[in-house]
């Protein structure tokens, strides 16, 4: 069966996991701990061939459900067609580190930091939080220097990890760069940029509304409804051959052409992945480049990246601008540092400072809501803004992915994870207070 609604098959991954679906049918009560579910402990895909019960295959199994998820987040390209985000062929620019002795001392101090989880009554140490959150990779930079770096589970320093909806923030950053450079006019209507959007509900939204996800577009995620939009989107997005009787849209962009309205544009923030793909299409239209190539040209080739990244594609080769990127931990730290530095890295300016200023200033808080762990937040240019004392903002992706930028503490924190449940609302209570604690520690440094 090519499309399954019985849980999320890998084929549905494209759209589904990016929008926060729970993929934890088998883990709703007492999931395995981080240590128990470590893919090396589980033995996934070990042996030549692996035993049948240790195989994770795309056709036959739910490869993106916990605990298989903990292996698959490092191996997406082995399941799906992908496009490269090239770093080019030159030498990477190594990140700065303290002396080994200082680095080890900082690690000890950070591991021992304590914080109170949201709504909790028992303090937790930083190191405990790493396991509570099924962390695969954690890297913290302070004032441009790596002060903490650890790898777990499937991730090693030369490996890569799915970043899920943090992809949106790369798409949004590219969009904001183009706006700042006058290449993309965010006051235009979508139909002025993409005439063939036709009578899609997107047609009359502004580019800015798409960037900020305040469009009024229908996109239902009722997983028990076989006709829910999420399933139509998944089928459209699948790079695999369509069933012979398939009559739906083929690819992300055909899907976008038939979106129905739901409410008024501009009224409220609604976190719907299709906005990111709409933005991706507009970016490609005005630049004549795939978002993969643009991310390579504007970011990966110029920030000293040490590894290529990659992005999943639909059946027509269109990269999944809403969730398809896989990248290395240190390269994501470079991206965060680029944001913290207002568009500069390694002594080079990659884009105007106003790009970061616009993102860090945040969106309209009055239109934001429904995220209990981000009570004062906003969303703009596909970035989450906390509006906290430190002016922090973040890229976020399901199952615990984040690039967290704290301008006050001059801290960039990147976490890659494979938390059993998709929604970050489950992960924030033991994450956001931990980030604040380490920020305060670093400010005393």
Q: Is 253 in the site for a second copy (CB under 8 A)?
A: yes
- Residue 323 is given by DSSP the state T
Binding mask 22-51 for a second copy (x = CB under 8 A): -----------------------x--xxx-
- CB 284 to a second copy: min, Å: 4
DSSP 411: E
Segment near a second copy (CB under 8 A); pick from 164-172, 235-243, 378-386, 437-445: 235-243
Give CA–CA dist 202/278, Å, rounded.
Answer: 8
**How many residues are recorded in the chain?**
445
What character string, x for contact with a second copy (CB under 8 A) and - otherwise, covers 136-175? ---------------------xx-x---------------
Question: Which x/- pattern, by CB under 8 A, does the window 192-231 give for a second copy?
Answer: ----------------------------------------
Q: Toward a second copy, which CB reaches closer, 166 or 283?
A: 283
Asked if residue 438 lies in contact with residue 89, where contact means CB atoms within 8 angstroms, the answer is no
User: Which residues in 339-378 contact a second copy (CB under 8 A)?
Assistant: none
Q: Which of 37, 72, 165, 378 is catalytic?
A: 165
79 contacts a second copy (rule: CB under 8 A):
yes
Q: Does 335 bind a second copy (CB under 8 A)?
A: no
- CB-wise, 308 or 364, nearer to a second copy? 308
Q: Smaller CB distance to a second copy: residue 75 or 270?
A: 75
Report which of 375, 382, 425, 385 is spatially closest to residue 405, judged by C-alpha positions.
Answer: 385
Q: Tokens 């056709």 sit at which residue? A: 59
Strand order in the sheet with 383-385: 145-151, 135-142, 411-417, 401-406, 393-397, 383-385, 378-380
DSSP 206: B
Residue nearer to a second copy on the CB measure, 77 or 367 = 77
Binding segment for a second copy among 84-92, 111-119, 344-352, 419-427 (CB under 8 A)?
84-92
CA 106-111-112 angle, 5° bins? 100
C-beta of residue 41 within 8 angstroms of C-beta of residue 70: no
Q: Are 375 and 170 in contact (CB under 8 A)?
A: no
Selected range binding a second copy among 103-111, 215-223, 234-242, 366-374, rule: CB under 8 A: 234-242
State which residue, 177 or 394, has the beta carbon closest to a second copy.
Answer: 177
Which range, of 201-209, 310-318, 368-376, 408-416, touches a second copy by CB under 8 A?
310-318
Cβ-contact 304, 376 below 8 angstroms: no
Residue 56 vs 427, nearer CB to a second copy = 56
In the residue annotation, 165 being an active-site residue is answered as: yes
Out of 31, 43, 77, 111, point to the residue binding a second copy (CB under 8 A).
77
Distance CA 237, CA 231 (A): 10
- Kindly tell me which residue out of 34, 290, 335, 442 binds a second copy, with binding defined by CB under 8 A: 290
Residue showing tokens 């930091």: 113
Measured from the CB atom, the residue of 15 and 24 that comes closer to a second copy is: 15
Q: What six digits make up the tokens of 27?
A: 């883990």
Strand partners, 311: 83, 325
Helix%, strand%, coil% for the chain, nearest 5: 35, 15, 50
Q: Provide the Cα torsion 43, 47, 50, 54; round to 10°.
A: 0
Of 306, 344, 354, 440, the one binding a second copy by CB under 8 A: 306
**Residue matched to tokens 């540092």:** 337
Distance of CA 117 to the CA centre of its chain: 23
Residues lying near a second copy in the complex (CB under 8 A) are found at: 1-2, 45, 48-50, 55-60, 75, 77-84, 86, 88-92, 157-158, 160, 239-242, 244, 251, 253, 281, 284-285, 288, 290, 306-308, 310, 313, 315-318, 328, 330
Active site residues: 165
């Amino acid at each position: 069966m090519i499309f399954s609604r019985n849980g999320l098959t890998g084929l549905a991954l494209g759209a589904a996991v990016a929008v926060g679906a729970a993929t934890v049918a088998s883990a709703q009560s007492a999931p395995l701990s981080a240590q128990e579910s470590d893919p090396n402990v589980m033995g996934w895909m070990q042996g030549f061939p692996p035993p049948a019960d240790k195989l994770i295959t795309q056709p036959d199994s739910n490869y993106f459900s916990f605990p298989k998820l903990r292996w698959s987040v490092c191996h997406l390209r082995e399941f799906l067609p992908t496009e490269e985000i090239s770093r080019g062929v030159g030498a990477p620019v190594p990140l700065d580190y303290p002396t080994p002795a200082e680095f080890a001392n900082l690690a000890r101090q950070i591991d021992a930091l304590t914080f109170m989880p949201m709504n909790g009554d028992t303090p937790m140490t930083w190191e405990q939080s790493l396991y509570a959150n099924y962390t695969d990779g954690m890297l913290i930079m302070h004032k441009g220097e790596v002060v903490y770096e650890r790898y777990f589970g499937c991730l090693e320093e030369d490996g890569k990890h799915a970043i899920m909806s943090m992809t949106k923030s790369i798409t949004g950053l590219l969009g904001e760069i183009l706006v700042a450079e006058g290449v993309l006019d965010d006051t235009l209507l979508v139909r002025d940029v993409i005439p063939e959007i036709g009578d899609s509900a997107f047609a009359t939204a502004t580019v800015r509304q798409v960037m900020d996800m305040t469009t009024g577009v229908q996109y239902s995620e009722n997983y028990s409804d076989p006709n829910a939009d999420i399933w139509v989107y998944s089928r459209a997005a699948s790079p695999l051959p369509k069933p012979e009787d398939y009559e739906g849209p083929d690819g992300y962009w055909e899907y976008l052409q038939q979106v129905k309205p739901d409410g008024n544009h501009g009224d409220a923030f609604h976190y719907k992945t299709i906005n990111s793909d709409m933005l991706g299409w507009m970016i490609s239209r005005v630049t004549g480049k795939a978002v993969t190539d643009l991310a390579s040209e504007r970011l990966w080739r110029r920030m000293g990246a040490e590894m290529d990244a990659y992005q999943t594609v639909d059946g027509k080769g269109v990269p999944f601008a809403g969730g398809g990127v896989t990248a290395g931990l240190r390269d994501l730290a470079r991206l965060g540092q680029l944001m913290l530095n207002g568009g500069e890295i390694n002594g080079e300016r990659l884009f105007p400072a106003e790009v970061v200023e616009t993102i860090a200033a945040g969106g309209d808080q009055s239109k934001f809501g429904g995220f209990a762990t981000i009570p004062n937040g906003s969303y703009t240019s596909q970035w989450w803004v906390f509006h906290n004392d430190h002016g922090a903002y973040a890229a976020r992706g399901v199952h615990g992915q984040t690039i967290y930028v704290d301008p006050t503490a001059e801290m960039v924190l990147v976490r890659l994870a494979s938390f059993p449940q998709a929604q970050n609302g489950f992960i924030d209570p033991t994450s956001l207070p931990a980030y604040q604690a380490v920020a305060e520690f670093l400010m005393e440094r």
